[in-house]
Structure 1
Amino acid sequence: MQDRRTLLKGAAGLTAALALPARTAAAALPGPRKPPRLRPGDTVGLIEPAGFTHDAFDLAAVKATVAGMGLVPKVAPHVAARYGYLAGSDAERAADVNAMFADDSVRAIFAIRGGWGCARILPLLDYALIRAHPKLLVGFSDITALHMALAARAGFTTIHGPVAASSWGKLSWDSFRSLAFEGAMPLYQPPETVEDRLAPRGGRVRTFRSGKATGRLLGGNLTVLSALVGTPYLPDFAGAILFIEDTNEAEYRIDRMLTQLTLAGILGKVAGVVFGQCTDCVSDGPSYGGFTLSEVLQQHLGALGVPAFQGALFGHVPNQYSLPEGCRAEIDADAGTIRILEPAVA
């Protein structure tokens, strides 16, 4: 059986655009500016905009990972700082983000880890400076706050993908390299699994609403995204393909957050929805007898009238696809695929 880590496929051969329903018309608007692609030997900045790294050995391992990519790591000045559960004060963490965007020797910026704290620094970022120096920002989980703020205030592509401290297995690395180094437009498919079953259960797709949709990819961690509702740091989701994931959230909390997105008018704007992995999103109380996660998602996503599915390989999992925030993509809710329709980099 094919190795599950070799499923990244190029999208060459796409010959015709699909006719879009009126709801996806906003996707035809001009896309984001493109940061420069990465090249072997480029310097990349390492920041900690949220939680802190526990010890120097962990940081050394991160630097070795970046070097293994053929890149040169440059650690931000306050990475070794600590303020409670944060990697330094809000002012220090924001200063590191601003400095890495201003530094002409730095070609891209990797978050070392997530945690919590990115939203606290959003008012302290210099968006005029950042707009003038478009660079790939890479990370997921709490880094969603930075992705959303840059989509709203800076207008260039970022990459929702592993943080620098992730394990970076072959699938993760191949996906990131394809986008960031090669400027490719891959087709992401459900992973194959090797199971001793007549019908394997891993990698299965749950389709809540059939069909295909095209739009700008926008999203990330559901908890972080919902917490930004009502702030000036969310982009316009009209005609977008919303992708969301989460971890360690009970079914009722997923329900609550999706309800918030509905009441805020966000879910009613999108052209399609992809729910990735929800790691440990199962209530473990002995008396719990409520909705399953799939039932919650069916209630919210099945009623939207746009293509929607669950099971794409992104989220809090050892291997995940990199998704270019702001780039146009096509989803097929029946096949469970995401096809990138434009390069993420210049």
Structure 2
Amino acid sequence: MLSRRSTLGGIGGLWAALALSPGHAARPPIKLPRLRIGDTVGLIAPASVADEPFNLELAQNSMRGMGLVPKLGRHVSDRFGYLAGTDRDRAADIHAMFADKTVRAVFALRGGWGGGRLLPLLDWDLIRANPKLLVGFSDVTALHLAFAEHAGFPTIHAPNAGNRWDVISWNSFWRMAFAGQAPLLNGAEGQDITQDRWRTTTIRPGKASGRLLGGNLTVLSTLMGSPWLPDFDGAILFLEEVGEAEYRIDRMLNQLALAGILGKVAGVVFGQCSRCTSNVADYAGFTVPQILDQYLSPLGIPAFSGANIGHVSNQLSLPVGAQVRIDAEAGTILLLDPIVA
């Protein structure tokens, strides 16, 4: 267990007091159609511009390498400022892919920024009527969380189609999406294979079960107070971040604390905080591990950090909205029931 608790530990009890009563009963998620070799998958650009021909071809080749047939959305090469087309056109591509009966799953091409702008435009009746896997990460967190609240079926936090699909990412995705398994993540895959690079650290020991919710910390914090954020009561919260200075991590975790989210959850997994260091010379502030300890230790719930989740190679594929069990000492995430049938 980490020992750095003195500075902010005194207010941890106040955050916990903001929690709603435990035991929130999550609705049983819909089982999604599993992927098979030869299936068609849709590629969409819900956020930043994705119009570089070479990168589009690489993304399609990644899908072909998985044995899948890529189908590009109509507007993926559009440009609207720094976005991949207008909000309505990007939303239209999502609708088209979910309505298309030949498409078995939908992959985001990249993240960046823009997914949150689509949420009020999405036809949730259409999406609920056509359940299929949605895959991506980073800014796609906005879609994952909104789907957890409004779609009623799980999604997969995994590399975008335009990112690298390394062995751990592919193995965990294949087990969930193709094989219909309920794999043990991080302990069975990340810890053993990449022990020297992604070594988890126990913040508070213990085991906990709940609905897995989370993603990019910045994107999650921007949805605070909106109708697109799911109920975190009894959930397992997972977080990752990239390129944010330590004080920004502190500020966003404080927002989650003041909003009562940290006091609601049953457990926390913090993945990688890539390039989360201050550029100030002679920096003498808190480190990210100290900040995590200050916010998570006082909660008294199982929590660990260092999981290979986020803007890193070999990131784990995670089932957002599904029931999982974490072991903070072993650094593992166990999917309790397959998400595909």
How many angstroms does 1:32 deviate by?
Answer: 1.4
Match of 2:166 in 1: 169
Per the normalisation by structure 2, the TM-score is 0.91
How many angstroms does 1:39 deviate by?
Answer: 0.8
Match of 1:10 in 2: none
Which residues of 2 match residues 167-246 of structure 1 at below 5 A? 167-188=164-185, 189=187, 190-192=190-192, 202-246=197-241
How many angstroms does 1:202 deviate by?
Answer: 2.7
Match of 1:51 in 2: 48
Distance in 1 (CA, whole Å) between partners of 2:295 and 2:319 is 25
The one-letter code of the counterpart of 2:31 is: K
Match of 2:84 in 1: 87
Distance in 2 (CA, whole Å) between partners of 1:278 and 1:53 is 25
Distance in 1 (CA, whole Å) between partners of 2:123 and 2:108 is 18
Match of 1:333 in 2: 328
Match of 2:262 in 1: 267
Secondary structure of the structure 2 residue equivalent to 1:268: helix
How many angstroms does 1:285 deviate by?
Answer: 1.3
RMSD: 1.5
Distance in 2 (CA, whole Å) between partners of 1:77 and 1:54 is 12
How many angstroms does 1:56 deviate by?
Answer: 0.7
Q: Is the 8 A contact 1:86 1:116 kept in 2?
A: yes
Q: Which runs of 4+ in 1 moved over 6 A?
A: none
Counterpart among 268, 284, 291 of residue 289 in structure 1: 284
Q: Is the 8 A contact 1:214 1:331 kept in 2?
A: yes
Distance in 2 (CA, whole Å) between partners of 1:61 and 1:88 is 20
Counterpart among 63, 68, 71 of residue 66 in structure 1: 63
Q: Which runs of 5 or more residues in structure 1 are unaligned?
A: 1-21, 195-199
Match of 1:137 in 2: 134
Distance in 1 (CA, whole Å) between partners of 2:298 and 2:122 is 38
Match of 1:13 in 2: none
Counterpart among 310, 313, 316 of residue 308 in structure 2: 313
Secondary structure of the structure 2 residue equivalent to 1:110: strand
Secondary structure of the structure 2 residue equivalent to 1:267: helix
Q: Is the 8 A contact 2:208 2:302 kept in 1?
A: yes
**Higher share of residues assigned helix:** 2
The one-letter code of the counterpart of 1:89 is: T
Q: Is the 8 A contact 1:237 1:266 kept in 2?
A: yes
How many angstroms does 1:24 deviate by?
Answer: 5.5
Counterpart among 23, 45, 52 of residue 25 in structure 1: 23
Q: How many residues align?
A: 319
Q: Which runs of 5 or more residues in structure 2 are unaligned?
A: 1-19
Q: Is the 8 A contact 1:262 1:268 kept in 2?
A: yes
Q: CA-to-partner distance for each residue in 1:173-215, whole Å, 9 max, x for gaps?
A: 1111110001111112143467xxxxx7532222111100011
Distance in 2 (CA, whole Å) between partners of 1:193 and 1:321 is 12
Secondary structure of the structure 2 residue equivalent to 1:164: coil
How many angstroms does 1:25 deviate by?
Answer: 2.5
How many angstroms does 1:54 deviate by?
Answer: 4.4
Per the normalisation by structure 1, the TM-score is 0.89
The one-letter code of the counterpart of 1:25 is: G
Q: Is the 8 A contact 1:152 1:235 kept in 2?
A: yes
